[in-house]
Structures are given as structure tokens and as C-alpha cells.
Structure 1
Amino acid sequence: MKFQITSSRAAALVALIASVDAARHGHGHTHAHHQEARFVPENTTLQKKSGQCQFPTDAGLVSITPNEQNAGWAMSPNQPCEPGNYCPYACPPGQVSMQWDPLATSYTYPLSMNGGLYCDENGQIQKPFPNKPYCEDGTGAMTAKNKASQPVAFCQTVLPGNEAMLIPTLVEELSTLAVPGMSYWCETAAQYYINAPGVSVEEGCVWGTNAKPVGNWSPYTAGGNTVADGSTFLKIGWNPIYLQTTCPFRNTKPTFGIEIECEGGGCNGLPCKIDPSVNDVNEMSAPDVFTGAGGATGCVVTVPKGSKANVIVFDVDGSGSGSSSGSSSSNTRLPKSSPSMSYTYRPHVFAPTGAAEISSFGSSGSSGSSGSSGSSATGAASASATKTGAATSTAFSMMGVALGAVAAMFMNF
């Protein structure tokens, strides 16, 4: 079974790779206080202190830069959790957050910023969905497998929230990555930045500058979501911001590669791989390579229900490289983008991406059994953001929006 994308109407799928632009998010955000929403106070260890809502320390959550102003919340380091705001939090690896603004029912700014718990006007934490846990397990369809010589920092973006890539998973050998299912907020996907082996989560899971190819300037990204029929769509690709004309290392090959490996067979879209010992910057090996915002390339693998896929990280000398078994498709290498291409940020602007048609057809020599007709879905809007350099600038990126577009696109597939 071969995964095919109608090229003339693939805008929403292209938005997936566009979603991984490191759109330098602002740190100060304005959140609407909605009188209509009703909340139940949470009885965990919480208290008002210095006009802030305190991070719950006994709820099994991951504390993000606890010594900074965010004090553990999954917010920018200099952004405190203040009354009248929603305050996102980070879940342990493999889990997704299940608390957000009940009024945020579509991917629309600024409600898309309102993830986590509500800090009321009295400085008390309110749990928007009292009967839901803080976190729940993802679908378990994607793991990160480290075949490199040093640990690897996978950094998940905060969504709903400011979409900064603050949620850490340090992969020493094998770690489950959080892949959302249909119960997750607006049925969107999870997005990760992949740092070079040896970069710590403290250095890699923060927004940085182009002084180093880490964090939002790291070369690669990955993403995934599981849809109603149990299928999971995983993507790896180049980070558009790594390719910007202003990026000093845009022509430098990374010292590591990534690929998707399927367990259990039946995956479509293999091989899906970036190997700098073979590929130049912004080149990939895949049967269906697509180009997104900023000219960044990516590939998507469809993982059937009950199967699992690994995102493998390996050193460029090839000693740790895995092999994408299960597909007889020949490798396709996309030429490097034009040096003149750069990504244009459009703060707070949503541009409809149209529809995309995704089809599966039976094909001899490919893994899988029988094909099924695809479905069309209207892609969600995409937006991007720029950070002015001031710590309190407000911005919004197209990252999660495009991921939401893909999630919506695949929802009924």
C-alpha cells in the first residue's frame, strides 16, 4: 500500500513541515478572562504568593526552569503565572496535558494560548475540567530511539500555550514520545525539536538565538498525531529557521541524522530519513518528499493501528544508523533549496490552507495489505510569529496551527 499525496492540493500537508518553523515566540501574553467559564478549585498544594499562582508540586508534573520567574510552569522563563491568566504545565514524557480553557474550542488566537490551569483573580488555581486528570498517556505510537554516542534532547512545544519548545524528554536509549489522540485539545498533534547528541535539555529546550544550532535553531523536527481509526501520522523534516538566509550555519551539515523506523510492519511512506553522510542540507531520502514554508523538506509515515514507529537518532559516521525496513520504495532526494529562500514571519495572521486529498492504494512490493480510499478535509489556518528581542513582546507562531491542520486533515482518514 503506497501513501500518495495529490500534489496540486497538498497545501495542508505542506503546512505540517511549515509548522516546525521556529517562530520566535514572545514571552508576555495577554489572556482573556472569561466570566462564562466555571471552574472548580484544585485541592493540591497551591497558594498565593507575591501576586502569582504557585506551580503544583505534588501533581506529578514536570517543573520547567523552577528558579526563573515562570517558577515551574511551561511558560517562558521570564513569564510568571499571574492572576487572570491560564498557566500551561508540562507532563511527563509520553503524556499529554488534559487541562485548558473550555472556551478554546477551535484553533484561534488568543484562546489557543489558554492551556493548563486558570489562575483566578484571588491568586488561586482553578482546574477547568475537574473530572479530567492533569495528564494522560498518549497513544504510544512513537518512541525516540537513540543510536548516537550521547544523549539526545527532544523538546516538545507547549500547545495550547505559547508554543515554545519547553517540554523536555532526554533520550538516552529509548523513550516514549507523547502522541496525542482524538481527546487532545482540538485534535491537534504534538511537535518536537530534535537537538544534536550531547545538547542538554537545559540548553536545548529553550528559545535561543542563531549563535548555536540548538533549541528553536536545531536542524530537525518531528511531529505526530493519532486519528479516529487508530492510524498515526508521523513526520520528520528540516527546521525552516535553520535554512534562513540570516542563519550563520544554514550551509553546515549537522553531525547527526534521523529516520523513522516502523515496528510491526504495515507502515506507508518508508524510507523517511535524513542522513547527512548522504544528503546535503535540506535533502531527504523518502518516496514522497514535500516542501513546506521556507523551502524546508519533510516526509510523513503512516503507522497503522496497533503498530509503533521509532524516530531514530544516529551519528553521521553511520555506525548507529538504523535501516528503514518494510518498504521497497526507492529513495528520493530533493535538491537543496535556493539560497535566496527564507521564511517570512506573519504575526497573528491566519491564512487558510485549503483542502488536501490523501489516498491509499494497493501496490505490489509495498508493505501493508489492502488500500482504502482517502478523504478530504479542510486544512486549518496557519500563522507565524516573530520575536522582537524584547522579553515581553507578544507573538504567535504557525507551528501548532499547521499541526492542527494536519490533525484535522487526517481526522476522518
Structure 2
Amino acid sequence: MDQECEDGKWCQYACPPGQLMAQWNPKVTTYSYPGSQDGGVYCNGGELELKVKDHKGYCYDGTGTAKVNNKASSNVAFCQTVLPGNEAMLIPTDVDGGSTETLAVPGTDYWAKTAAHYYINPPGVSVEEGCVWGSTSNPYGNWSPYVAGFNQDDSGSTFAKIGWNPIYFEDSSPFKNKKPSFGLRLKCEDEGSCNGDECEINPKKVGLNKCSTQNLKSDGAAWCSITATGNSKVIVEVFEV
């Protein structure tokens, strides 16, 4: 956390993996600019001020209903955006090859009931390389090929989405015709509590900017989703292609 914030400004900070930011402007209740930038801690007269005083400090655990199962041989950096805030992908979850880690999933007590968003870097990219604003030099950070989002409602249903990153296909992107070396598969831990069709991104099998069966699009990028009910878990599998 930046301890030298400008007075009257918000200071950004990154929470540990699997946790969510607990501080925002309580007067801002919708995802709209510029209020969506008011996240972190507020600098008031040279002192850091917690705006949400009845919350859980600086960070708190998510619902625990999403995890990554990395079947690739190298680590994969899942980079969560700071929201509310500048939406930089500063919150890292590094998943070693062959291991499993929990991702932060917000419930309805999170700011404006929004979801947690992640950029998913190619295997072998460190969190130091991947969890920052990137450039067209490499498909890392905000230029990563894939994104994901998660949230849970009051009934205990976890909504999960994986998709292609829209800017991967922008005209200025040097990657738009390059197939990534890895894919994603989204499934429920308990198949009996799962709503939604097969949700997989496999560029070797179906090509660029496509999903296995669902091919919904936002900002020109394909995505698919599932819902796990009854507080059951969703799993993102990462695999090499």
C-alpha cells in the first residue's frame, strides 16, 4: 500500500491471493465512472482512513467457491483486478504446475455486488511479469489471451465465466492471429449442482475466439459460463494444447 497518498485521494492496495478489498466509497453504489475509481483507503489530513468502518479491515476472504486446477507443467498467474479502483491486475494468485489454488469470489456484500475479474497469463509467466499493465511486446497482463469472472448471490449460487480477452483481438494487437499454447475448462466440483452446458476454450480444437459449445460474445470476444448451486464449487482447469 502506498503510505504517501495525496490528501483527499484514494490509495490503491493489493490484497493477498483469495481475498477481496474491503474498502470503497460507501456513497458510490453502482459501477460507474468516476466513482468506480474510489477504492482502497482514503487519505484524510495525512492519515489513512477506512471508509467502510463496519466492514472487515483492509481485506477479507471470498466465498471460497472457486479454485484453479493447473494441469500445465508450469505455473500460471491469475491476476485479479483492483475494483473499485484503477482496475489494474495487481492481486496475484500464482498456481504452480500440477497444483490447485483458491480464487477470491465475492458475495453480495462486496462493492456494488460486482464480480471479481481475472486476467489469465500463459504458463511460465511469473506474477511479477503478468500482474501488471502489459504491452504488445508479450501476451501478458492486460494483453493476456483469457479472462475470467466470478460472483455469488444470496442463494449460494456461484456464477462463473471464462472468455477470450477482447483486446487480444484489437486491430493493434500483434497476437490476434496467434493461437495460445494453453486452454481453459470450466466445470462444477459437484456435477449434480451444475447449471450450464460444457464450457471450454481449446484453441487447438475450435480455433481462435471460440468456445467449445457456448459462443456468447461481449466486445467481440467469445465466452461461456456455468453456475454452481448450493454453495458448491466451480473449478477452472488449465491445460496445455
What TM-score do you get using the length of structure 2 for normalisation? Answer: 0.94
Measured in 1, the distance between the counterparts of 2:145 and 2:133 equals 14
Q: Any stretches of 5+ residues in structure 1 without a counterpart?
A: 1-54, 56-69, 72-79, 317-413
1:98 aligns with 2:22: yes
Question: Is the contact made by 1:165 and 1:207 (CA closer than 8 Å) also made in structure 2?
Answer: yes
Measured in 1, the distance between the counterparts of 2:145 and 2:30 equals 30
Measured in 2, the distance between the counterparts of 1:297 and 1:271 equals 14
Measured in 2, the distance between the counterparts of 1:116 and 1:195 equals 25
Quote the residue 2:93 is aligned against: 169
Which structure 2 residues correspond to residues 1-20 of structure 1 after superposition, within 5 A? none
Quote the residue 1:130 is aligned against: 53
1:283 aligns with 2:227: no
**How far off its partner does 1:94 sit?**
1.5
**How far off its partner does 1:153 sit?**
0.3
1:83 aligns with 2:10: no
Quote the residue 2:197 is aligned against: 270
Aligned residues: 237
Measured in 1, the distance between the counterparts of 2:182 and 2:195 equals 24
Quote the residue 1:246 is aligned against: 172
SS at match of 1:228: coil
Question: Is the contact made by 2:25 and 2:38 (CA closer than 8 Å) also made in structure 1?
Answer: yes
Counterpart amino acid of residue 282 in structure 1: N
Relative to total residues, which structure has the larger strand share, 1 or 2? 2
1:300 aligns with 2:219: no
**How far off its partner does 1:176 sit?**
0.7
Counterpart amino acid of residue 315 in structure 1: E
SS at match of 1:203: helix
Question: Is the contact made by 2:67 and 2:100 (CA closer than 8 Å) also made in structure 1?
Answer: yes
Measured in 1, the distance between the counterparts of 2:54 and 2:170 equals 45
Question: Is the contact made by 2:187 and 2:226 (CA closer than 8 Å) also made in structure 1?
Answer: no
- Of the two, which has the highest radius of gyration? 1
**How far off its partner does 1:289 sit?**
1.9
Quote the residue 2:146 is aligned against: 220
**How far off its partner does 1:258 sit?**
0.6
Which of 214, 237, 241 aligns to 1:312? It is 237
Quote the residue 2:69 is aligned against: 145
Measured in 2, the distance between the counterparts of 1:108 and 1:291 equals 22
**How far off its partner does 1:99 sit?**
1.1
**How far off its partner does 1:108 sit?**
2.3
Q: Per-residue displacement from partner, 1:90-125 (whole Å, max 9, x unpaired)?
A: 2222211111112112222211111111111x3111
Quote the residue 2:110 is aligned against: 184
**How far off its partner does 1:156 sit?**
0.6
What TM-score do you get using the length of structure 1 for normalisation? Answer: 0.56
Tell which has more relative contact order, 1 or 2 (C-alpha 8 A, sep 6+): 1
SS at match of 1:241: helix
1:156 aligns with 2:80: yes
Measured in 2, the distance between the counterparts of 1:244 and 1:291 equals 14
1:114 aligns with 2:114: no
RMSD over aligned Cα atoms? 1.3
Counterpart amino acid of residue 72 in structure 2: A
Q: Per-residue displacement from partner, 1:23-55 (whole Å, max 9, x unpaired)?
A: xxxxxxxxxxxxxxxxxxxxxxxxxxxxxxxx3
Measured in 2, the distance between the counterparts of 1:203 and 1:168 equals 11
Q: Any stretches of 5+ residues in structure 2 without a counterpart?
A: none
**How far off its partner does 1:131 sit?**
3.1
Question: Is the contact made by 1:260 and 1:270 (CA closer than 8 Å) also made in structure 2?
Answer: no
Counterpart amino acid of residue 140 in structure 2: V
Measured in 1, the distance between the counterparts of 2:12 and 2:30 equals 17
Q: Per-residue displacement from partner, 1:251-304 (whole Å, max 9, x unpaired)?
A: 110001111121112212231001122121111102x320111x2100011111
Q: Which moved more, 1:88-97 or 1:248-257?
A: 88-97
1:209 aligns with 2:135: yes
